[in-house]
């Protein structure tokens, strides 16, 4: 089930919330259990037989955690290693098995049929096992199952930790309806819905033709290549941050506060800062469970650089079994190494305003280049896109028909010269697509983020990204009600489109 569908919003969600609080009147443990069942039903709606996987995984990890908790060292450590390996083995089997076999067989891998949510629940449960080994917290099956399966974060994060969500689930006082949280939760949910449905999904049809052309090695103009890469950057941001806003909003309906996952990353003036603000909970997982165990920053510059690149490559690979993700991870690792080197060179000097602007330009441009690799169907298509970005993939032949309909009206009515569209935009990109992308980026850069508007700070590693929302700050006022109502009603008109969240595929 998707958050952006009418059956979720009008049937599942009211039922799940009502059941949770009704049952909580009698028993908190039963409420946690019933919400776990709701969450599994939410999962099963996608593919009923596959619900066995999270159910078995939760059961197995619970037993393992109990064993770790009750076992002295060094046996507990061995159990932990077994648990981590078992989780990774399941993930690897579903996600990377064919990719690895394809390498040996020297063929192209088939698209893997990865069970929904597997990547996210694997990381949540690995982090939990490590937490249990380190801190030996108390937990029971009902609360643990709800912690892992809680539907707002089940499919695509944020990747929650037991120390931030576990105590909330254990807190009896949270099992009462709270109108303030519901008001805030509904607002955050609707804003996320707007990001996803009204912005990200509107960009999607413009992007596919260019990347499809790259997959077929067809000519792409420089403007089309850059335009599609910027557009995909914006689409991915609004899609995933919209999903995360919705998850936070849904959590609030249950009086549970999920961590934020995005902190206006497109405003970052360095690649280091950008990765502190993009998919925050994944970055922190990779830092704590990959980068630090590899030695982190407590080693020489060469080793640290290797650790960074390796962490980012693994982060890329986590997104899927494709060389494009590995290349994207390595590219970002190199950028981070370069950024650290630049910081060492500059020392403590504060950047000037122009320096910040140059940093922002370089950061955003690098990010878009990375996105060209990330979105491409295969490494050959990624190469083609990168070649197109520097003008090495030639424009279209004069006889090629313009394949995107967006500009045809303007061309037919004489508002746009066809020769201009062909020369600059090619047959797969359009003036409308360019304007839509610019509008989306302007919103990302200039309009306060949802979390700024509602002053939500849960799980925020730092707050220096925030800008005061001023008079725009959320309050349960008629003006905000009208705005949220318009956003919801507008999004509703697109519900029939059935657009999955991009991060569901990872």
Partner 1 sequence: MSFSTISSDCVHRPARRYVVAIIAIATAWLAATMAANVLIDPQAVFGSNLVRVHFNANARYLAFRDYQADPDRYDAVLFASSRGNAFDRTLLAAQLGVRRVANFSVPFGLLTDHLPTLEFLLRDKAARGGQLAAVVLILDADFFGKQPWTNLNIDSFLPPQISGESPFRFWWRYLTAFQYKQWKNDLDAVAGPRPVAGPAAGVTGAMGVSDVLGSKPSLAGLVPVWPLAPLGKASVPVAETFLAETDAPEIRSDLAHQLDLLARFVALCRAHNARLVVAFSPLNRRNVGDAQAPDMERIVDQVTRVTPVWDFDRPAWLSDRPDLWLDFSHYSTAVATMMTQRIFGTATSAPADFGRLTGP
**Residue 228 within binding range of partner 1, rule CB under 8 A:** no
Instruction: Note if 153 is an active site residue.
Output: no
> Of 378, 392, 150, 131, which Cα lies nearest the Cα of 250?
150
Toward partner 1, which CB reaches closer, 184 or 372? 184
| Active-site option among 279, 319, 340, 384 | 319
CB 29 within 8 A of CB 140: yes
Q: Whole-angstrom Cα distance, residue 405 to residue 430?
A: 9
Toward partner 1, which CB reaches closer, 288 or 378? 378
Taking residues 469 to 498 in sequence order and writing x for each that binds partner 1 by CB under 8 A, - otherwise, the string is -----xxxx--xx--xx--xx--xxxxxxx
**Residue 167 within binding range of partner 1, rule CB under 8 A:** no
Q: How far is the CB of 209 from partner 1 (least distance, A)?
A: 8
**Residue 7 within binding range of partner 1, rule CB under 8 A:** yes
Q: How far is the CB of 237 from partner 1 (least distance, A)?
A: 19
Residue choice 88, 89, 180, 217 for contact with partner 1 (CB under 8 A) = 180
User: How many Cβ atoms are within 10 Å of 124's Cβ, its own excluded?
Assistant: 27
Interactions with partner 1, residue window 416-475 (CB under 8 A): 454-458, 474-475
Q: How far is the CB of 403 from partner 1 (least distance, A)?
A: 8
> Of 75, 120, 147, which Cα lies nearest the Cα of 318?
120
**Residue 257 within binding range of partner 1, rule CB under 8 A:** yes
Pull the structure tokens for residue 196: 């996803």
Toward partner 1, which CB reaches closer, 45 or 424? 45
Packed helices 13-24 and 28-44: angle between N→C axes, nearest 10 degrees:
160
**Residue 288 within binding range of partner 1, rule CB under 8 A:** no
Query: CA torsion, points 425, 428, 431, 432, in degrees to nearest 10?
Result: -170
User: Which DSSP state fits 454?
Assistant: T
CB 336 within 8 A of CB 364: no
**Residue 204 within binding range of partner 1, rule CB under 8 A:** yes
Q: What DSSP letter does each residue of 124-174 carry, written as one string? A: HHHHHHHHHHHH-----HHHHHHHHH-HHHHTT-----HHHHHHHHH-GGG
Q: How far is the CB of 190 from partner 1 (least distance, A)?
A: 8
**Residue 252 within binding range of partner 1, rule CB under 8 A:** yes
Contact residues for partner 1, defined by CB under 8 A: 6-7, 9-10, 173-174, 178-184, 186-187, 190, 204-205, 208, 252, 255, 257, 454-458, 474-477, 480-481, 484-485, 488-489, 492-500
Catalytic residue positions? 319
């Amino acid at each position: 089930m998707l958050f952006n569908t009418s059956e979720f919003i009008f049937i599942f969600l009211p039922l799940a919330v009502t059941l949770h609080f009704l049952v909580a009147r009698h028993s908190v443990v039963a409420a946690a259990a019933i919400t776990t069942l709701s969450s599994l039903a939410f999962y099963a709606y996608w593919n009923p037989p596959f619900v066995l996987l999270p159910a078995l995984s939760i059961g197995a990890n619970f037993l393992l955690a109990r064993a770790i908790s009750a076992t002295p060292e060094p046996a507990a450590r061995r159990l932990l290693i077994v648990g981590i390996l078992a989780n990774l083995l399941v993930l690897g089997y579903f996600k990377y098995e064919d990719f690895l076999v394809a390498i040996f067989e020297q063929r192209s891998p088939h698209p893997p049929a990865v069970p929904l949510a597997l990547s996210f629940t694997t990381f949540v449960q690995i982090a939990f096992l490590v937490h249990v080994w380190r801190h030996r917290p108390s937990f029971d099956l009902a609360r643990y199952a709800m912690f892992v399966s809680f539907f707002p974060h089940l499919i695509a994060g944020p990747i929650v930790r037991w120390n931030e969500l576990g105590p909330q689930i254990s807190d009896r006082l949270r099992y009462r309806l709270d109108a303030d949280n519901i008001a805030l939760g509904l607002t955050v949910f609707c804003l996320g819905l707007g990001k996803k449905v009204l912005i990200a999904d509107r960009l999607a049809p413009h992007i596919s033709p260019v990347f499809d052309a790259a997959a077929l090695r067809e000519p792409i103009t420089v403007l089309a290549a850059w335009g599609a890469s910027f557009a995909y950057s914006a689409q991915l941001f609004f899609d995933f941050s919209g999903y995360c806003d919705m998850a936070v909003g849904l959590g609030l309906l249950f009086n549970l506060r999920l961590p934020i996952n995005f902190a206006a990353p497109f405003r970052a003036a360095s690649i280091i800062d950008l990765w502190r603000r993009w998919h925050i909970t994944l970055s922190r997982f990779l830092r704590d469970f990959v980068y630090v165990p590899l030695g982190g920053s407590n080693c020489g510059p060469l080793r640290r650089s290797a650790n960074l690149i390796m962490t980012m490559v693994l982060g890329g690979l986590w997104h899927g079994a494709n060389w494009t993700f590995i290349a994207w991870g390595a590219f970002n690792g190199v950028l981070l190494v370069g950024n650290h080197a630049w910081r060492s060179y500059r020392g403590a000097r504060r950047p000037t305003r122009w320096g910040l602007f140059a940093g922002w330009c370089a950061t955003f441009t690098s990010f878009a280049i990375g996105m060209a690799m990330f979105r491409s169907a295969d490494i050959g298509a990624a190469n083609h896109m990168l070649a197109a970005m520097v003008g090495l993939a030639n424009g279209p032949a004069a006889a090629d028909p313009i394949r995107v309909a967006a500009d045809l009206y303007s061309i037919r009515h004489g508002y746009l010269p066809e020769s201009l569209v062909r020369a600059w935009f090619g047959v797969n990109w359009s003036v409308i697509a360019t304007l839509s992308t610019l509008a989306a980026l302007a919103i990302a850069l200039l309009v306060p983020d949802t979390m700024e508007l509602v002053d939500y700070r849960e799980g925020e590693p730092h707050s220096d990204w925030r800008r005061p929302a001023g008079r725009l700050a959320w309050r349960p006022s008629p003006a905000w009600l009208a705005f949220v109502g318009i956003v919801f009603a507008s999004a509703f008109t697109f519900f029939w489109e059935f657009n999955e969240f991009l991060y569901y595929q990872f």
